Protein backbone atom coordinates (compact mmCIF):
# COMPACT_ATOMS: atom_id res chain seq x y z
CA UNK A 1 0.00 0.00 0.00
CA UNK A 2 1.33 3.46 -0.88
CA UNK A 3 2.27 5.92 1.89
CA UNK A 4 -0.19 8.54 0.66
CA UNK A 5 -3.25 6.40 0.22
CA UNK A 6 -4.87 6.53 -3.18
CA UNK A 7 -8.60 7.14 -3.09
CA UNK A 8 -11.31 6.51 -5.68
CA UNK A 9 -14.48 8.53 -5.19
CA UNK A 10 -17.66 6.98 -6.60
CA UNK A 11 -20.58 9.28 -7.47
CA UNK A 12 -23.73 9.37 -9.56
CA UNK A 13 -24.75 13.02 -9.72
CA UNK A 14 -23.99 16.49 -8.43
CA UNK A 15 -20.71 15.65 -6.69
CA UNK A 16 -20.75 18.28 -3.95
CA UNK A 17 -19.14 15.84 -1.50
CA UNK A 18 -16.46 15.03 -4.07
CA UNK A 19 -15.92 18.79 -4.45
CA UNK A 20 -15.62 19.16 -0.66
CA UNK A 21 -13.02 16.36 -0.57
CA UNK A 22 -11.05 17.87 -3.45
CA UNK A 23 -11.18 21.30 -1.83
CA UNK A 24 -9.95 19.82 1.46
CA UNK A 25 -7.09 18.23 -0.46
CA UNK A 26 -6.27 21.54 -2.13
CA UNK A 27 -6.36 23.39 1.20
CA UNK A 28 -4.11 20.88 2.95
CA UNK A 29 -6.85 19.44 5.19
CA UNK A 30 -6.72 16.08 3.46
CA UNK A 31 -3.08 15.09 3.28
CA UNK A 32 -3.13 11.41 4.20
CA UNK A 33 -4.74 10.50 0.92
CA UNK A 34 -4.92 11.60 -2.67
CA UNK A 35 -8.05 11.45 -4.77
CA UNK A 36 -6.64 9.55 -7.71
CA UNK A 37 -9.80 8.58 -9.57
CA UNK A 38 -13.49 9.46 -9.78
CA UNK A 39 -15.86 6.71 -10.92
CA UNK A 40 -19.44 7.26 -12.00
CA UNK A 41 -22.20 5.03 -13.29
CA UNK A 42 -23.55 8.03 -15.25
CA UNK A 43 -21.66 9.70 -18.08
CA UNK A 44 -23.55 12.95 -17.47
CA UNK A 45 -22.94 13.17 -13.71
CA UNK A 46 -21.98 16.75 -12.85
CA UNK A 47 -19.45 15.34 -10.40
CA UNK A 48 -17.34 14.16 -13.35
CA UNK A 49 -16.86 17.81 -14.36
CA UNK A 50 -15.81 18.62 -10.80
CA UNK A 51 -13.18 15.89 -11.02
CA UNK A 52 -11.96 17.01 -14.43
CA UNK A 53 -11.66 20.61 -13.21
CA UNK A 54 -9.28 19.33 -10.52
CA UNK A 55 -7.33 17.25 -13.02
CA UNK A 56 -8.52 13.97 -11.52
CA UNK A 57 -8.94 11.07 -13.97
CA UNK A 58 -12.48 9.80 -14.36
CA UNK A 59 -13.97 6.48 -15.32
CA UNK A 60 -17.58 5.91 -16.36
CA UNK A 61 -18.60 2.42 -15.32
CA UNK A 62 -21.88 1.42 -16.96
CA UNK A 63 -22.63 -2.19 -16.16
CA UNK A 64 -25.04 -2.48 -19.12
CA UNK A 65 -22.12 -1.91 -21.47
CA UNK A 66 -20.66 -5.29 -20.52
CA UNK A 67 -21.62 -8.78 -21.61
CA UNK A 68 -22.16 -9.93 -18.05
CA UNK A 69 -22.20 -8.51 -14.50
CA UNK A 70 -19.09 -10.58 -13.77
CA UNK A 71 -17.18 -9.00 -16.64
CA UNK A 72 -18.36 -5.55 -15.52
CA UNK A 73 -17.09 -6.16 -12.00
CA UNK A 74 -13.79 -7.65 -13.14
CA UNK A 75 -13.24 -4.65 -15.38
CA UNK A 76 -13.97 -2.22 -12.55
CA UNK A 77 -11.56 -4.04 -10.24
CA UNK A 78 -8.97 -3.91 -13.03
CA UNK A 79 -9.42 -0.14 -13.37
CA UNK A 80 -9.10 0.35 -9.59
CA UNK A 81 -6.01 -1.81 -9.63
CA UNK A 82 -4.49 0.06 -12.58
CA UNK A 83 -4.88 3.30 -10.60
CA UNK A 84 -3.42 1.59 -7.49
CA UNK A 85 -6.51 2.50 -5.48
CA UNK A 86 -6.27 1.77 -1.74
CA UNK A 87 -9.62 3.21 -0.63
CA UNK A 88 -13.07 3.49 -2.18
CA UNK A 89 -15.15 6.43 -0.98
CA UNK A 90 -18.80 6.47 -1.99
CA UNK A 91 -20.17 10.00 -2.28
CA UNK A 92 -23.67 9.96 -3.67
CA UNK A 93 -23.26 6.70 -5.57
CA UNK A 94 -26.74 5.33 -6.15
CA UNK A 95 -26.05 1.72 -7.16
CA UNK A 96 -25.30 -1.36 -5.09
CA UNK A 97 -21.58 -2.12 -5.01
CA UNK A 98 -20.88 -5.68 -6.22
CA UNK A 99 -19.89 -8.15 -3.51
CA UNK A 100 -16.54 -8.79 -5.21
CA UNK A 101 -15.68 -5.09 -4.79
CA UNK A 102 -16.77 -4.88 -1.13
CA UNK A 103 -14.73 -8.03 -0.53
CA UNK A 104 -11.64 -6.67 -2.31
CA UNK A 105 -11.86 -3.40 -0.35
CA UNK A 106 -13.22 -4.72 2.96
CA UNK A 107 -12.20 -2.24 5.66
CA UNK A 108 -11.24 0.26 2.94
CA UNK A 109 -14.63 1.21 1.55
CA UNK A 110 -16.89 3.81 3.15
CA UNK A 111 -20.10 5.70 2.38
CA UNK A 112 -21.84 8.83 3.57
CA UNK A 113 -25.58 8.71 4.19
CA UNK A 114 -27.78 11.76 4.87
CA UNK A 115 -29.43 10.52 8.08
CA UNK A 116 -28.49 9.34 11.53
CA UNK A 117 -28.17 5.65 10.72
CA UNK A 118 -29.51 3.17 11.62
CA UNK A 119 -32.55 5.42 11.24
CA UNK A 120 -33.76 6.13 7.71
CA UNK A 121 -31.42 3.82 5.86
CA UNK A 122 -31.91 0.90 3.51
CA UNK A 123 -33.75 0.40 0.25
CA UNK A 124 -35.42 3.53 -1.15
CA UNK A 125 -33.78 5.78 1.41
CA UNK A 126 -31.87 8.02 -0.97
CA UNK A 127 -31.88 11.74 -1.64
CA UNK A 128 -35.02 13.69 -0.84
CA UNK A 129 -36.89 10.55 0.32
CA UNK A 130 -34.66 10.40 3.39
CA UNK A 131 -35.46 13.95 4.49
CA UNK A 132 -39.16 13.54 3.74
CA UNK A 133 -39.20 10.43 5.94
CA UNK A 134 -37.39 12.27 8.75
CA UNK A 135 -39.98 15.08 8.62
CA UNK A 136 -42.91 12.66 8.40
CA UNK A 137 -41.63 10.84 11.48
CA UNK A 138 -41.57 14.12 13.43
CA UNK A 139 -37.88 13.82 14.29
CA UNK A 140 -36.32 16.76 16.10
CA UNK A 141 -32.84 16.02 14.81
CA UNK A 142 -31.22 14.50 11.79
CA UNK A 143 -27.69 14.44 10.43
CA UNK A 144 -25.26 12.42 8.41
CA UNK A 145 -23.42 9.17 8.94
CA UNK A 146 -20.19 7.79 7.56
CA UNK A 147 -20.15 4.01 7.67
CA UNK A 148 -18.30 1.01 6.34
CA UNK A 149 -19.76 -0.45 3.19
CA UNK A 150 -20.72 -4.09 3.41
CA UNK A 151 -23.12 -6.20 1.41
CA UNK A 152 -25.98 -5.16 3.74
CA UNK A 153 -27.24 -1.81 2.44
CA UNK A 154 -26.48 1.05 4.89
CA UNK A 155 -25.79 -1.46 7.67
CA UNK A 156 -21.98 -1.43 7.88
CA UNK A 157 -20.46 -0.23 11.16
CA UNK A 158 -20.81 3.47 11.92
CA UNK A 159 -17.58 5.47 11.79
CA UNK A 160 -18.76 9.05 12.38
CA UNK A 161 -21.91 11.12 12.65
CA UNK A 162 -22.83 14.78 12.77
CA UNK A 163 -26.19 15.79 14.23
CA UNK A 164 -28.18 18.78 12.99
CA UNK A 165 -31.51 20.06 14.30
CA UNK A 166 -34.77 19.66 12.42
CA UNK A 167 -36.41 23.10 12.58
CA UNK A 168 -40.19 23.61 12.88
CA UNK A 169 -40.61 25.06 9.39
CA UNK A 170 -38.23 22.75 7.61
CA UNK A 171 -39.03 21.40 4.17
CA UNK A 172 -37.22 18.36 2.80
CA UNK A 173 -35.05 20.78 0.82
CA UNK A 174 -34.09 23.03 3.73
CA UNK A 175 -33.26 20.01 5.88
CA UNK A 176 -31.30 18.44 3.02
CA UNK A 177 -29.23 21.62 2.71
CA UNK A 178 -28.42 21.68 6.45
CA UNK A 179 -27.42 18.02 6.39
CA UNK A 180 -25.36 18.50 3.22
CA UNK A 181 -23.33 21.30 4.83
CA UNK A 182 -22.57 18.93 7.72
CA UNK A 183 -21.54 16.25 5.22
CA UNK A 184 -19.06 18.59 3.57
CA UNK A 185 -17.33 19.09 6.93
CA UNK A 186 -17.53 15.53 8.18
CA UNK A 187 -16.34 13.63 5.10
CA UNK A 188 -12.93 15.28 4.66
CA UNK A 189 -12.27 15.28 8.43
CA UNK A 190 -13.18 11.62 8.80
CA UNK A 191 -11.28 10.52 5.72
CA UNK A 192 -8.17 12.29 6.98
CA UNK A 193 -8.54 10.53 10.33
CA UNK A 194 -9.15 7.15 8.75
CA UNK A 195 -6.31 7.36 6.23
CA UNK A 196 -3.89 8.76 8.76
CA UNK A 197 -4.84 6.13 11.32
CA UNK A 198 -2.41 3.44 12.30
CA UNK A 199 -5.39 1.14 12.10
CA UNK A 200 -4.81 -1.63 9.60
CA UNK A 201 -8.26 -2.93 9.02
CA UNK A 202 -9.21 -5.76 6.81
CA UNK A 203 -12.58 -6.35 8.35
CA UNK A 204 -15.56 -4.21 7.56
CA UNK A 205 -16.53 -3.99 11.21
CA UNK A 206 -13.49 -2.01 12.40
CA UNK A 207 -14.17 1.46 13.75
CA UNK A 208 -11.96 4.41 14.50
CA UNK A 209 -9.96 3.80 17.66
CA UNK A 210 -10.25 7.23 19.32
CA UNK A 211 -13.57 8.97 20.07
CA UNK A 212 -13.43 12.68 19.18
CA UNK A 213 -16.54 14.29 20.66
CA UNK A 214 -16.16 17.83 19.28
CA UNK A 215 -18.69 20.25 17.86
CA UNK A 216 -21.58 17.84 18.15
CA UNK A 217 -19.77 15.17 16.17
CA UNK A 218 -19.55 11.63 17.40
CA UNK A 219 -16.84 9.27 16.36
CA UNK A 220 -17.94 5.82 17.35
Question: What stretches of the chain adopt beta strand conformation (E)?
Answer: 5-11, 33-40, 58-60, 87-90, 109-113, 141-148, 158-165, 217-219
| 9 is an interface residue for ligand GRF by CB under 6 A | no
| 121 is an interface residue for ligand GRF by CB under 6 A | no
Tell me the C-alpha distance between 35 and 97, whole Å.
19
Query: Which range binds ligand GRF by CB under 6 A, 8-16, 59-67, 98-106, 194-202?
Result: 8-16
| 38 is an interface residue for ligand GRF by CB under 6 A | no
Tell me the C-alpha distance between 10 and 111, whole Å.
9
> Which of 6, 10, 15, 110 touches ligand GRF (CB under 6 A)?
15
| 112 is an interface residue for ligand GRF by CB under 6 A | yes
Q: Please name which of 45, 46, 41, 30 lies closest in space to residue 187, comparing C-alpha atoms.
A: 30
Tell me the C-alpha distance between 47 and 39, whole Å.
9
Query: Which range binds ligand GRF by CB under 6 A, 57-65, 72-80, 109-117, 190-198?
Result: 109-117
Tell me the C-alpha distance between 35 and 11, whole Å.
13
Catalytic member of 54, 83, 113, 147: 113
| 7 is an interface residue for ligand GRF by CB under 6 A | no
> Which of 100, 153, 180, 201 touches ligand GRF (CB under 6 A)?
180
Tell me the C-alpha distance between 187 and 100, whole Å.
25
What residue ranges bind ligand GRF (CB under 6 A)?
11, 13-17, 47, 91-92, 112-114, 144, 180, 183
Query: What residues act catalytically?
Result: 113
Amino acid sequence: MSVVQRVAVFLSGRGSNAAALLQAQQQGRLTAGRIALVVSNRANAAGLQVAAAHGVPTYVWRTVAFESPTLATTTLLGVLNAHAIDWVVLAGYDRIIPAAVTAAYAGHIINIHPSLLPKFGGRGMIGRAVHQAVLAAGETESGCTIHWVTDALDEGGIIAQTRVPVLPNDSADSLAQRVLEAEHQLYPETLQRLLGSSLTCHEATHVLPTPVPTGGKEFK
